[in-house]
A and B are shown apart, each in its own frame.
Chain A
């Protein structure tokens, strides 16, 4: 998987159409399962406990990834189920869709997992997730007050630029 070599906030913005209310929720986890960011734009049913919600989501994706890698009919090696895999090793799952939502997933080589939940008729969001990862690198990782492995909260690390750019971009995804 090719990651970026851009200078400013590139790569080129994937073509954005429409309405603005399609992104529902977004999670960003790091390699240890710490939820760095949780944003919601449109979530009618609220869970009671945010911590449980994050743990559930992280566990779901961890299991899904290892399941899909083990079930891969084209891979040669036969490891045991449950052996943790390096990011990018084996096949990588990128989305699942139900009748009410679609969950898109991207994992970077450093273990940063981006999860975006949208309405079910959304197309392939891999380029969009790459763009969001680039926003993360530019505005969070390179932001001096930010300490790695801590949640991106506005007071401690002044990531206002990241939040506004992210909001703007997600609203423009069709």
Chain B
């Protein structure tokens, strides 16, 4: 029997976690903050994949495991599946989600079309900082995928690309 929690609560928790690591704990070291957030995601992904593969037989090869991530794992997390999966059959997979839920409320390009061009340094710096926030959130999701795959026995590196919000692609490179 599963217990449920409100989605807004989870969203707010993630937001607060990212903001705490970026702005308070490692304020001037974004790489450290990113690796911390990645580590948290790793733990979460590890435990989630343990839970969601409880009744399934072992996966026969890498492609099956990636398909599990795309279908079952993603539907448990986000109630939808990955929209597009590409591979080069040599250990690299690209998972694309056309409307990534955790980023669906952010817009990437603050457009200065209202006539205000950022002229002061402080505004430009704030804009740069604001543009990093979606990337920080993605470190968590990459960690989740990495942790899930490690638990299934696949060592890999995961990176994300958000050139077109709210669509988001994760690139998984399996280590030989």
Contacts and interface: CB of A to CB of B under 8 A. Distances in A.
Contact of B108 (A7, A154, A155, A158): A158
Contacts of B14: 144
A142 B106 CA distance: 9
Interface of A: 7, 138-139, 142-145, 154-161
A157 B15 CA distance: 13
Given A139-B105, A158-B130, A161-B105, A144 B110 contact: no
Contacts of B114: 154
B110 A160 contact: yes
B111 A154 contact: yes
Nearest to B18: A144
B39 interface: no
Contact of B11 (A142, A157, A158): A142
B105 A160 contact: no
A155 B126 contact: yes
Contact of B107 (A7, A138, A142, A159): A159
Given A142-B8, A142-B11, A144-B137, A155 B106 contact: no
Q: Is the contact region of chain B dominated by helix, strand, or loop, or is it mixed? A: helix
Contacts of A145: 106, 130, 133
Interface of B: 7-8, 11-12, 14-15, 18-19, 105-112, 114, 116, 118, 123, 126-127, 130-131, 133, 137
Nearest to B19: A144
Given A144-B15, A145-B133, A154 B105 contact: no
B118 A158 contact: no
Contacts of B18: 144
B12 A142 contact: yes
Contacts of B130: 145, 155-158
A160 B111 contact: yes
A144 B106 CA distance: 7
Contacts of B112: 154-155
Contacts of B12: 142
The 3 A-B residue pairs with the shortest CB-CB distance in the complex, in nearest-first order = A160-B107, A144-B15, A154-B110
A110 B47 CA distance: 37
B172 to A, nearest CB: 25
A20 to B, nearest CB: 19
A142 B16 CA distance: 11
Contacts of A139: 105
A133 to B, nearest CB: 15
A145 B108 CA distance: 11
B111 A156 contact: no
